[in-house]
Amino acid sequence: MKCPFCGEADKDKVLDSRPIRDNTAIKRRRECEVERGGCGRRFTTFEQIEELLLQVVKKDGTREAFDRNKLLASLQIAAKKRPVSADQLEDAVEDIERTLANRLDKEVSTQEIGELVMEHLKSLDQIAYVRFASVYRQFEDATQFRDIVNMLRRQTGRAKTKE
């Protein structure tokens, strides 16, 4: 491993390793052991299985590799300043990734990913859901906000009557 501080390669020792993400990844705490100059700085690395070779087909037809970090970032933006924990967002990303990985197709449209995100946000936080929907569905006026809020009210009302 290359030290991010001094640039020396393979001159580090692992101080701590622990499984994360349901044992699908490992977080390692490392310390640089360069003899000359004695860097001694500590850093963290993550190791995970590279299994998802999924291509995302965008609206304009272009393709790019699936990026977990982009997905997490979009959820974080939608849930900003809302009572949604980082763990809840991470769990949603993991569930979406798992759903996509279990598909037989190697390509997925941005629309399919967007629908999965909306499904998760709806159960996590309604405000985050509306924020994401306004961008994802490209709302152009306030009536579209009203329509989605009314839909959420109807669903919430039905859920309360079932209890």
What percentage of the chain's residues is helix, strand, coil (to nearest 5)? 45, 20, 35
Q: What is the pLDDT of residue 94?
A: 92
For residue 15 the two structure tokens come to 């101080």
Among 30-34, 102-106, 149-153, top mean pLDDT goes to 30-34
User: What is the per-residue pLDDT across 10-64, written as a single tens digit (0 to 9) for each?
Assistant: 888 999 999 988 888 899 999 998 876 668 899 999 998 766 588 999 989 999 9
Given a cut of 60, whether residue 79 has pLDDT beyond it is yes
| 130 and 149 Cβ atoms separated by less than 8 Å | yes
Check residue 6 and report its DSSP letter. Answer: T
Average pLDDT over residues 75-89: 94
Cα-based angle 120, 121, 123 (whole degrees, multiple of 5): 70
Distance between CA 163 and CA 160 in Å, rounded?
5
The alpha carbon torsion through 110, 112, 115, 121 (nearest 10 deg) reads: -70
Q: What is the pLDDT of residue 113?
A: 93
Contacts of 107 (CB under 8 A, 6+ apart): 54, 55, 56, 57, 63
Q: Which of 44, 46, 38 is nearest to 69 (CA)?
A: 46
Q: What is the DSSP string of 63-112?
A: EEE--HHHHHHHHHHHTTTSS--HHHHHHHHHHHHHHHHTSS-SEEEHHH
Q: Which residue has the higher pLDDT, 136 or 64?
A: 64
Q: What is the pLDDT of residue 51?
A: 64
Q: Is the pTM of this model over 0.75?
A: no
